[in-house]
Amino acid sequence: MKNIFWFACVFILFATGLVTAQSTPDRYPIIPRPAQLIQQNGAFLVNVSTTLQIPAQPAEVRSMANHLAEAINRVGGLSPTINILSTPTEPGTNQIQFVLRPDSSLGSEGYRLRVSALGIQLEANEPQGLFYGLQSLLQLLPAPNLGTTQLVEIPACQIRDKPRYTYRGLHLDVSRHFFPVSFIKRYIDQMARYKFNQFHWHLTDDQGWRIEIKKYPKLTQVGANRPETIVGHYEEYDPQVFNGKPYGGYYTQDEIREVVRYAQARYVNIIPEIEMPGHALAALAAYPELGCPNTDGKPRTYAVATKWGVFGDVLCPSERTFSFLEDVLAEVMALFPGPYIHIGGDECPKQTWRNSPFCQRLIRREGLGNAHALQRYFIKRIDSFLVSRGRKLLGWDEILQGSSPRLKLSAGATVMSWRGIQYGVQAARQGHGVVMTPDKFCYLNYFQSDPGREPLAFGGMLPIQKVYSYDPTPAGLTPAQQRLILGAQGNVWTEYIATPEQVEYMVWPRAAALAEVVWTEPNRKDYTNFLARLAPYHLAQFRAEGVNYAASALTTLPKERLLSKATNKPYILLTQPHPSRPDHGGMLTDGIMGTLGGYEVVDFVSFWGRNFGVVLDLGQSQPVQTITVGFVKYTARDICLPRQVDLAVSDDGQTFTPVGTFPANAAEQGRRGIVRMPFALPAGIQARFVRVLAQNVGRVPAGMRHPGAVAKLAVDEVTVD
């Protein structure tokens, strides 16, 4: 009956000309975009007599009403009265009503919002539906106006909304860098605004153990602290440079409980991650007996990692280790009431197990065959323990390794597909729930615009438009398998993110784009429309709250251009570049400098074990005073400066006259970078053609990261002045 009433209202609105076909983004700047929004003329104006009407139960609705009243006060200086009703009443004039009313079509998280000149009614099946409807209503309030009061005018509309996916997640790594409870709460606040409902808290790794475990105090006494931290990227310097500053931090169990309660009030479930069997150096440093012993039976010694990467030392699959992990997980489960416990499972090197007599005996005893199956054995043991406690295992897609019928994971085990899409497809076809988080779409620690203008980041490139373009449900799945795609998650790994401000810079506004990916049906997505809703309204909200969002994510910054007599002039390469770094046509004279972004070398022409030679045609004979060549110095990647550079000029392109030989220091180490070498020619040189020959040193000199390896030359822009 209610549905008939709803559609009748829509028909009347269309018939009377009060509805327009498309919602105006700047009038209805709701992110994520609702499933249905019917725009109407007019608005509801909050005044001194406006009241909020809420049900007596459940109690959490009162906090929602308080939140709305506070928001109205911040915007307009008004303080609406909150009235608690024992039974729902018909909408009254000048009221904002919160109503819990059965409607199976909305599910547990859907809501219906009606705004007219007379009043506002927000309806849902469950309190969380009211909460998400409240987030949409808050986004219809006027944007902040530098603290000055203004009219609180809410545009008339009818919204019917529910999410596409049940899992809408953001992740935060606190192991590489630690963030205080106050910031974790702030992070959760921003998540809730955009209707995320899962916070994946990465609490342990090689570089730090961040959660108090009562039974094993050395996990935080030892494992939470490292003596220093590498400076820059793993390969930024050759040799590596460290800051010499002790680093540590962890959350007490009381702090964990406080954050869990805070998140629950915002309908955010927290998923703790305890990494195993790899990424466990912090645990091994605290309790070395958990590692595989030396051949003499004595425990090895370990230290909390001071650099990034993957380490060969992993937990030993012994009964002592499993007892330890069950004790740890028991305390973790007592703190986190949600259904999922994340156990990592990624990037576990197997060589330690292959070299371990104990592991080899275990492989033979259990009929496992190899170390990959031993990982499945390890994961299966933990899976069974979690199931026995009524929980579900969640792990990175490597938990699928070592498949065998005997070691089949439980039906509730859920896979996070991070190494691409294919592992999510594999998991769904095996009947497992899947959270899609492929790095190319979901790693918010990647660069978001030109790396040359961005703060240090992990690497890769993930602009906001690419985030928005993602569809978490892969093609090629049956309807039943599609239902196993639970949603998607944005990940924030913090090797190069040391402060709360930098976390926010990397996350926002890209996470707002991801919020629409996981909430809004694909046929309602429109990138241009999204941008119109995002700016200026949401950016004004960020500024008002001091959220350090990345404006660069929304601007196209042209690369710096080097202009010279050689710009856009043709040239002939005298030696062929390596296929992995070819010349894409004019790269050496297009005026666009290459960049070193993260671990990547971008827009360079590379010569592995070969010399570099080029002849430039300046078009006509003219004075030539200086020739400048850009070389990459990245000796940790075996990219060395040349041994020497020989220059020659010609008027006919056939007969060349040498004009200078310039030695270079191919053994130069230090920080990686682009070295632009200017070579001054003798006075009075005039030529049309310029030849540059750079001699590769051949083998990486002694004292570098990989002495004796094949040396590479990487060449950037060549300019002539």
pLDDT per position as a tens digit, 269-321? 999 999 999 999 999 999 999 999 887 777 789 999 999 999 999 999 999 99
Is the pLDDT confidence value at 17 over 60? no
Is residue 562 situated within a structural domain?
no
Q: What is the CATH number of the domain that holds 593?
A: 2.60.120.1190
pLDDT of residue 14: 34
- Where does a domain end: 161, 191, 226? 161
Query: Do 128 and 174 sit in the same domain of this protein?
Result: no
Is residue 533 situated within a structural domain?
no
Query: Do 131 and 228 sit in the same domain of this protein?
Result: no
Which residue of the set 258, 327, 347, 651 is catalytic? Answer: 347
- Where does a domain end: 500, 527, 554? 527
What are the residue ranges of helices labelled H in 29-124? 60-76
Is residue 684 situated within a structural domain?
yes
Is residue 535 situated within a structural domain?
no
Mean pLDDT of 13-30: 58
Question: How many Å apart are CA 597 and CA 456, to the nearest integer?
Answer: 8
Q: What is the CATH number of the domain that holds 349?
A: 3.20.20.80
Which residue of the set 233, 279, 342, 538 is catalytic? Answer: 279
Length of the chain equals: 721
**Residue 486 in tokens:** 């639970």
Contact 459, 600 (CB under 8 A): yes
Is residue 299 situated within a structural domain?
yes
Rg (CA), the chain: 30
Would you call 342 a catalytic residue per the annotation? no
pLDDT of residue 7: 37
pLDDT of residue 90: 67
Query: Do 522 and 577 sit in the same domain of this protein?
Result: no
pTM of the full structure: 0.93
The highest-confidence range among 453-462, 494-503, 591-600, by mean pLDDT, is: 494-503
Question: Which residues, other chains included, contact 535 with Cβ-Cβ below 8 Å and sequence gap of 6+?
Answer: 554
Angle between helices 319-335 and 253-264 (to 10 degrees): 50
pLDDT band, very low/low/confident/very high, at 23 (cuts 50, 70, 90): low
- Where does a domain end: 120, 135, 161? 161
Is residue 344 situated within a structural domain?
yes
Is the pLDDT confidence value at 11 over 60? no
3-state SS assignment for residue 423: helix
Residue 596 phi, psi (nearest 5): -110, 100
Query: Do 352 and 471 sit in the same domain of this protein?
Result: yes
Q: Which domain holds residue 687?
A: 571-720
**Residue 380 in tokens:** 């299966």
What are the residue ranges of helices labelled H in 483-564? 500-507, 510-519, 527-533, 539-545
Query: Do 519 and 618 sit in the same domain of this protein?
Result: no
Residue 144 burial (CB count, 10 A): 17
pLDDT of residue 599: 66
Angle between helices 500-507 and 181-193 (to 10 degrees): 20
For residue range 375-413, what is the model confidence (pLDDT) as tens digits? Answer: 999 999 999 999 999 999 999 999 998 867 789 999 999
Which residue of the set 123, 126, 205, 273 is catalytic? Answer: 205
Is the pLDDT confidence value at 33 over 60? yes
pLDDT of residue 405: 76
Number of domains in the chain: 3
Question: How many Å apart are CA 266 and CA 132, to the nearest integer?
Answer: 9
pLDDT of residue 88: 63
Question: How many Å apart are CA 90 and CA 592, to the nearest integer?
Answer: 66
3-state SS assignment for residue 3: helix
* Cross-strand partners of 237: 671
pLDDT of residue 18: 35
Contact 638, 700 (CB under 8 A): yes
Question: How many Å apart are CA 167 and CA 326, to the nearest integer?
Answer: 27
Between the two ends of the chain, the Cα-to-Cα distance in Å is: 81
Would you call 383 a catalytic residue per the annotation? no
For residue range 52-96, what is the model confidence (pLDDT) as tens digits? Answer: 999 999 999 999 999 999 999 999 999 999 999 877 666 679 999
Query: Do 52 and 89 sit in the same domain of this protein?
Result: yes
Is residue 564 situated within a structural domain?
no
- Alpha-carbon distance values, 500 to 258, 310, 462, 636, 679 (Å): 19, 25, 20, 30, 45
Query: Do 148 and 171 sit in the same domain of this protein?
Result: no
pLDDT of residue 451: 85
pLDDT of residue 596: 79
Contact 82, 58 (CB under 8 A): no
For residue range 251-264, what is the model confidence (pLDDT) as tens digits? Answer: 999 999 999 999 99
Query: Do 340 and 375 sit in the same domain of this protein?
Result: yes
Is residue 182 situated within a structural domain?
yes
Query: Do 128 and 8 sit in the same domain of this protein?
Result: yes
Query: Do 148 and 246 sit in the same domain of this protein?
Result: no
Which range, of 150-159, 437-446, 598-607, averages the lowest pLDDT?
A: 598-607
Query: Do 384 and 435 sit in the same domain of this protein?
Result: yes
Would you call 177 a catalytic residue per the annotation? no
pLDDT of residue 3: 43
pLDDT of residue 5: 35
Q: What is the CATH number of the domain that holds 42?
A: 3.30.379.10
Query: Do 604 and 693 sit in the same domain of this protein?
Result: yes
